[in-house]
Amino acid sequence: MRKILLILLFFIAGAIAVISLGELKHTWRTLSHSDVRFLALAILLLLGWTFNDASIYRSLYRLMDMREEFGHLVLLSSATSFINVVAPSGGFGGVAVFVDDAGKRGHPRGLAAAVGALYLFMDYAAFMVVLALGWTVYIRRNDLNPGEITASIIMLAIVVGMGILIFIGSRSGEQLGRVLAWLAHRINRIMWVFVRREYFHEVAAYEFGVEVAEGLSILRTRHRGILFPFLFALNGKLLQTLILGVTFMAFNVPFSIGTIIAGFASAYLFLIVSPTPSGIGVVETLLPLALISLGVAWEDSALITLTYRGITFWIPLTVGGISFRILQRE
């Protein structure tokens, strides 16, 4: 069964690549006209971002009194990016990677599930800081549009909702299980109109809530321990923002710090609230429009978007697939 699922996942990944083949060709042509030195710097920043992500997981593992090799966490973090694209589920597909790995390596599965949930919350909460700075830039330039306002409200609701669920889970696993089962039931009623089947298994949602609460209960006595993961998450957003800035430099496009911050805020916002996996097609369409509103020329906006997505999406997706395969062999 595991082999069948593995083949299916890589088939989906291949399908995504084929569907996006035109975009990949445009990205390759775009990269050939850029300054290779800055592209190399961007890839180094991407490597730093990968190690930073693994550092978030390591700090959360230590919070749960678990010990794991840093190199193994790098593989898990990279594989998570791959799974979240080929099996999109709001980021929780990656949690399954950690839970499965914990079971094979003798760690409590509940603690691993809590690590994955806390990582998502740290990542989204850190982005809210960047989003607030991006809003400041848009407001100062009188350029905040209804689409970005709506997406930001959705993002805020996601972060607040996750925060409430984590708080409930830290207090009672039974209560968190009931809440998740209720949410699954409500979503199923809505999705039934479209898919004519149960979209989420309510029993599984309840069991997941009880399981993840095993780790979240640690927050009752170690709530200050989430400070370091949050700082690492902020650093990750800084590295991603720097990659966008270096992309501007690769094409010798003038920019200001405000343009880079607001541009990254828009890109990541579209990525999260997009109905497509990791914002495929949506980011490539909306980010150029956001950059144009920030004063970047249309041609430059298109070049920067394709290059930035090539570095921050296609490279991690490829490396993540390799990491996932290595983990399966182990």
Find all residues with CB under 8 Å of 219, minimum gap 6, and list them: 166, 170, 225, 226
Instruction: List the one residue out of 237, 283, 282, 291 whose CA is nearest residue 263.
Output: 291
Q: Rounded to the nearest 5°, which phi and psi values hold at 301?
A: -60, -45
Q: Do the domain assignments include residue 155?
A: yes
Tell me the two tokens of residue 85.
């694209």
Q: How far is CA 83 from the centre of its chain?
A: 11
Q: Do the domain assignments include residue 187?
A: no
Q: Do the domain assignments include residue 192?
A: no
Q: Do the domain assignments include residue 101?
A: yes
pLDDT of residue 32: 57
Q: Which H or E element spans position 12?
A: helix 2-19
pLDDT of residue 1: 41
pLDDT of residue 318: 87
pLDDT of residue 88: 57
Alpha-carbon gap, residue 251 to 246, rounded angstroms: 9
Instruction: For the chain, 330 residues long, give each residue's pLDDT as a single digit of tens.
Output: 444 344 444 444 444 444 444 454 555 555 556 678 888 999 999 999 999 999 999 999 999 888 889 999 999 999 888 887 776 555 566 777 888 888 888 888 888 888 988 999 999 999 999 999 999 999 988 877 888 888 899 999 999 999 999 999 888 888 988 888 888 888 878 877 776 677 677 787 888 888 888 888 888 888 788 889 999 999 999 999 999 999 999 888 898 999 999 999 999 998 888 877 777 888 888 888 889 988 888 888 888 888 898 889 888 988 988 888 888 776
Angle at 77 between CA 90 and CA 134, to 5 degrees: 60
pLDDT of residue 260: 95
Alpha-carbon gap, residue 311 to 68, rounded angstroms: 28
Tell me the two tokens of residue 74.
């790098």
On average, the pLDDT of the chain sits at: 83
* Contact between residue 215 and residue 110 where contact means Cβ atoms under 8 Å apart: yes
How many folded domains does the chain comprise?
1
Cβ burial of 209 (10 Å; 0-12, 13-18, 19+) is buried
Q: Do the domain assignments include residue 236?
A: yes
Alpha-carbon gap, residue 86 to 176, rounded angstroms: 28
How far, in Å, are 141, 169, 209, 233, 256 from residue 307 at the CA level? Answer: 26, 40, 40, 23, 19
* Contact between residue 124 and residue 272 where contact means Cβ atoms under 8 Å apart: yes
Alpha-carbon gap, residue 106 to 222, rounded angstroms: 23
- This prediction has a pTM of 0.84
Q: Do the domain assignments include residue 116?
A: yes
Q: Do the domain assignments include residue 197?
A: no
What 3-state class would DSSP assign to 162? helix
Alpha-carbon gap, residue 320 to 221, rounded angstroms: 35
CB atoms closer than 10 angstroms to residue 69: 10
Q: Rounded to the nearest 5°, which phi and psi values hold at 217?
A: -60, -20
What 3-state class would DSSP assign to 105? helix
Q: Do the domain assignments include residue 123?
A: yes
pLDDT of residue 314: 85
pLDDT of residue 6: 43
* Contact between residue 328 and residue 2 where contact means Cβ atoms under 8 Å apart: yes
Tell me the two tokens of residue 203.
């029993």
Range of the structural domain that residue 7 is part of: 2-174+208-329
* Contact between residue 237 and residue 127 where contact means Cβ atoms under 8 Å apart: yes
